[in-house]
Structure 1
Amino acid sequence: MSNFGDTDAIDLNDIGGFWTESIEYRHAAFDALRARPTLPFFPEPEFPGAQPGPGYYALTRMDDILQVTRDADRFISSRGTGSVVDLPPEMMAEFGESIITMDGPRHGRLRRIVSRVFTPKMVNALMDNVTRVAEEIVDEVIERGECDAVTDISAKLPLRVICDMMGIPRSRHAFVDEQTNLLLGLADPDYVAEQDDPLGVMFKASRALADMMHELAEQRAAAPGDDLISMLLNAEVDGEALTPSELASFFILLVSAGNETTRNAISWGIELLTRFPEQRTIWSSDIDKVTPTAVEEIVRWSSPVMCQRRTVAEDAEPVEIGGRRLGPGDKVLMFHWAANRDPRHFDDPARFDVLRTPNPHIGYGGPGPHFCLGAHLARLELSVIFRQLLTRMPDIRVTGEPVRLKSSLVNGIKHLPVTFTPGRGTPRTSA
């Protein structure tokens, strides 16, 4: 681990270098950036098909990020949230109907509509289905004694839950998984070849998912069911409903952000149970009591979405953050991954502690209008699957290094080999 006496040597744009270093190395770098008296500034990375802009400020302190997320009028999302580089107009038009890239009244209108099906009460009503899916997944591997925890467990749970909610047939789940891997794995050669145009791949994958959603929406409009598509088609606030494009964009966000982030939290949770066996013992000794705090700690420690962008609005007054005066057009990249290790907010932040409380992490985004709509569902999925693992596969253990996703956006794991005693544990448990 480096002490990074020279923070100028840290290159947050180096996907093939910095972002492939060990977790410990990267955290040491962010510790050094956090300790600087002023916000560090970085030039924008090169991205095929996009014109590089003036650069961005890296926010690594919790207080700075909270200041930005609470000031959504000044720090807007409509210029982009997942890429520090400004996407071409045609790409922004493609994603312009997504709630994650909306501001002001338009964002509020859409969020009011979709939030009606993501209240804690509605999510709790999904308990039986989430439990059934988790039981199925464990049933499929428990006699084998070994598996890839990502492809056989982590990736399946949120994908099946979300697709079942939307009424998407099992025959099309693999297609959805493939397209979301492309959307969030643009820098990883396992998903997008180096000779391919990443913007073209992004556009094609998003268009494929949108086309599928338009097809299903037409079917539900003709014959409504009790699935989420039907509910969203009929959900109204003040007489307004979702447009077909808004529904398609919301679906893409749900299956990408909701699927990929939860699957990576599960994967890191399995890795952490192996890395910190004493924490597994604490959790296993009282599953009912420890699960809520353990789930929050997994999300804090892993921070599946490592960063998000905001841009100072053109009509905004300048503001000071982290010793810098930011004005219209300035970009900030909020590194939630670093803020969730901020020693000003967490005691011994590098420690994985399933009993940690309080735990004011921002793994679901900071407070403000863009706080994750699916946080309740993510917590439910994590709680249910780890209850299954701890009771039915209590000795599950990682046997090799995680194969990590090559990305500066998602703290992903592509493969994670595990072993366990075949058929061990109670046949089934209810969450």
Structure 2
Amino acid sequence: MEVAVVTGNPGRSAARPAAHPSDPDPSDPSFWRLPRPARLAAFAELRRRDAPVLCGQRPGFYALVRHADVTQASRRPRDFASAPGVTTPEPAGWAKAVFGNSMVNMDGAEHAGLRRIVARSFTPRLLAAAEENVREVARRIVDEMLERRPEDFVPSVASRMPFEVICDLMGVPDDDRAEIGARIDAASENVGVERGLRHRLRMPGRGLRALAHMQLVMARLARERRRSPRGDLVSALVCADVDGQALNSRQLGAFFSLLLVAGVETTRNAIAHGLTLLSEHPDQRALLEADFDTYADGAVEEIVRHSTPIIQFRRTVATECELGGHVFRPGEKVVLFYASANRDEAVFEDPDVFDITRDPNPHLGYGGGGPHHCLGAHLARQEMKALFRELLSRSGDLRAVGPPDLVDSSFDNRVRSLRFAFKAP
């Protein structure tokens, strides 16, 4: 395996021979099987390098690990493009043609036009209804938690909150939700996970079937809402009139898949990590419980920074440009490691410490800014605050029991399960 490091003159690349086996290499699947503290230490080592490191066998990718570099790459879409795809592997052209292209893989006018339709569909009335619904969903979930006393926090609480909120927001019928939830798990359970040949052959089919099913659900719902609009987001999207445009059924299906796979997974993992962090840091939990309204915003931001639900996205270099002491050339790949940027010592004092009073907290948990900053960031924050308010005020001695069961994924900081306990009031 070869690793190249850029030093000295930013216009020249100084090649280094084969890397020592102990050198950090996030392109190696074994890197993601390391304990999380070891991975964070490896990223700290990479941040100390003079310039981005080329990882993996050529062509490989350059690892952007510093807060400044990730932020700059996010805000320079003409230099660092999202197309043809931000995930690994990049989506196939035929899959985009059949299922529609996701906004996260678009650039320029195409991305701006679609994002504008979506943004304008979030009317003040829709947002007000969504905020009230978030509070109602949180109350209902905790009601059922206290009644049924489940043992696994992820399926009974953390997963339900974002899934039910998004389905309510979109207007998805109750009869479709159970199967959609199962399809989400099928589509996302092995993203970023090293798999054997048997699973590599099987999982693409499962993921495509999941996408196809969600497309069919959205196509049917779109037809119904065009005939009889309601006060939900699907109605707003398919009946929108932004420069004479609205979402067609395929675009709606792609957007719905993005909301479900991205919005549900990221928020559920942040919630699960949040319970673990508050359990491991009783002083921070006591501070939050003593004055929730004062510290809730800071707690949510620190949970997202500390856990970083999305570990990385990639970009393709579109023009010759300089960043972080290296000149990049068109066609090269870079990976934006948010998990590293959120522990950058140059930005965060004591970055490994969990501190809900941290201020400022310019984390990149929702992206590094620019045109692809997360559309759902505000909703995710609302969901976390509403749920933790209910959990902390209505159940005694709420805590994680043991460490979370984490998935060894290079893409997201996923929690498979988390045992928990509490005392009913």
The aligned counterpart of 2:239 is 234
How far, CA to CA, are the matches of 2:23 and 2:178 in structure 1? 41
CA displacement 1:67-112 (0-9 Å, x = unmatched) = 11111112111210122x4443323434653211111011111111
SS in 2 for 1:289: helix
Given candidates 75, 78, 81, the residue that maps to 1:76 is: 81
Q: Do residues 346 (structure 1) and 345 (structure 2) align? A: no
Task: Determine if contact 2:28/2:56 at 8 Å carries over to the other structure.
Answer: no
Q: Distance in 2 between matches of 1:26 and 1:94?
A: 37
- Looking at structure 2, the residues matched to 256 and 399 of structure 1 have their Cα atoms a distance apart, in angstroms, of 27
1:298 Cα deviation after fit: 0.7
Change (3 A) 1:280 1:113: same
* Correspondent of 1:211 among 203, 213, 216: 216
Give the superposed CA RMSD. Answer: 2.1
Q: How far apart, CA to CA, are the structure 2 residues paired with 1:277 and 1:54?
A: 47
> Counterpart in 2 of 1:130?
134
Paired residue for 1:97? 101
Deviations 1:135-185 (A, max 9, x none): 111111114555211010000000001001111122322222222222222
C-alpha displacement of 1:199: 2.9
Q: What per-residue deviation string (whole Å, max 9, x for no partner) do you get for residues 167-223 of structure 1?
A: 112232222222222222225599x97264333333222122111111111122222
Find the counterpart in structure 1 of residue 307 from structure 2. 302
Cα–Cα, structure 1 residues 197 and 139, in superposed 2: closer, same or farther, change >3 Å? Answer: same
In 2, Cα distance between equivalents of 1:288 and 1:121: 25
| 1:292 maps to amino acid | D
Distance in 1 (alpha carbons) for counterparts of 2:87 and 2:214: 18
Q: Does 1:147 align with 2:151?
A: yes
Contact 1:293 1:355 survives alignment (8 Å): yes
1:368–1:107 CA distance, 2 compared to 1 (3 A): same
Counterpart Cα distance in 1 of 2:342 and 2:240: 36
- Using the size of structure 1 for normalisation, the TM-score is 0.89
- For 2:376, the aligned partner's letter is G
What is the distance in 2 between the residues matched to 1:224 and 1:232?
Answer: 10
Sequence identity of aligned pairs in percent? 41
Contact (CA 8 Å) 1:57, 1:333: kept in 2 or not? yes
Instruction: Name the CA distance, whole Å, in 2 between partners of 1:193 and 1:275.
Output: 38
* Residue 121 (structure 1) shift: 7.3
- Report 1:254-333 matches (<5 A): 254-313=259-318, 316=319, 318-333=320-335
Instruction: Sort the Cα spacing of 1:9 and 1:282 in 2 relative to 1 into closer, same or farther, 3 A.
Output: same
Pairing 1:10–2:39 present: no
The farther-off stretch of 143-152 and 262-271 is: 143-152
**C-alpha distance in 2, partners of 1:256/1:124?**
24
Aligned to 1:20: 33
1:110 to 88, 111, 114: 114
Distance in 1, matches of 2:355 and 2:21, equals 29
SS state of the match for residue 315, structure 2?
strand
- Kindly indicate whether residue 69 of structure 2 is the aligned counterpart of residue 64 of structure 1: yes
Q: Is the 8 A contact 1:95 1:101 kept in 2?
A: no
CA spacing shift, 1:61–1:195, aligned 2, 3 Å: closer
Partner of 1:335: 337
2 CA distance for matches of 1:251 and 1:390? 32
Deviations 1:246-303, CA, capped at 9 Å, x for gaps? 1111111011111110010000000001111110001111001100111111111111
Q: Which moved more, 1:179-188 or 1:374-383?
A: 179-188
Q: Is residue 379 of structure 1 aligned with residue 373 of structure 2?
A: no
Q: Residue 205 of structure 2 corresponds to which residue in structure 1?
A: 200
Q: What is the identity, as a one-letter code, of the residue corresponding to 1:35? A: R
Determine if the alignment matches structure 1 residue 182 to structure 2 residue 186. Answer: yes
Cα distance 1:197–1:120, how it changes in 2: closer, same or farther (>3 A)? Answer: farther
Q: 1:183 to 1:236 in 2, by over 3 A?
A: same
Per the alignment, residue 55 of structure 1 pairs with: 60
The change in CA–CA distance for 1:271 and 1:385 in structure 2 (over 3 A counts) is same
Q: State whether residues 98 and 253 of structure 1, in contact with CA within 8 Å, keep that contact through their aligned partners in structure 2.
A: yes
Indicate which of 246, 249, 252 corresponds to 1:244: 249
2:13 corresponds to = none
Bigger Cα displacement from structure 2, 57-66 vs 214-223: 214-223
What amino acid is the match of 2:132?
A: D
The verdict on how the C-alpha distance between 1:227 and 1:259 changes in structure 2, with shifts beyond 3 A counting, is same
CA contact (8 A) 1:184 1:410 kept: no
**Secondary structure of residue in 2 paired with 1:372:** coil
Point out where structure 2 has 5 or more consecutive residues left out of the alignment. 1-18
- Distance between the aligned counterparts of 2:405 and 2:343, measured in 1? 23
Q: 1:417 deviation in Å?
A: 0.3
Taking structure 2 as the reference length, the TM-score comes to 0.90
Distance in 1, Cα, partners of 2:173 & 2:190: 27
- SS of residue in 2 equivalent to 1:9: coil
**2:231 maps to amino acid:** D
Q: Assess if the C-alpha contact under 8 Å between 1:185 and 1:407 holds in 2.
A: no
- Asked whether the 8 Å contact 2:52–2:64 carries over to 1, the reply is yes
Partner-residue secondary structure (3-state), 1:57: strand
> Structure 2 vs 1, CA of residues 360 and 6 (structure 1 numbering), >3 Å: closer, same or farther?
farther
What's the offset of the Cα at 1:397?
1.0
1:407 and 2:412 correspond: no
Deviations 1:102-129 (A, max 9, x none): 1101111111110123478743442221
Q: Secondary structure at the match of 2:151?
A: strand
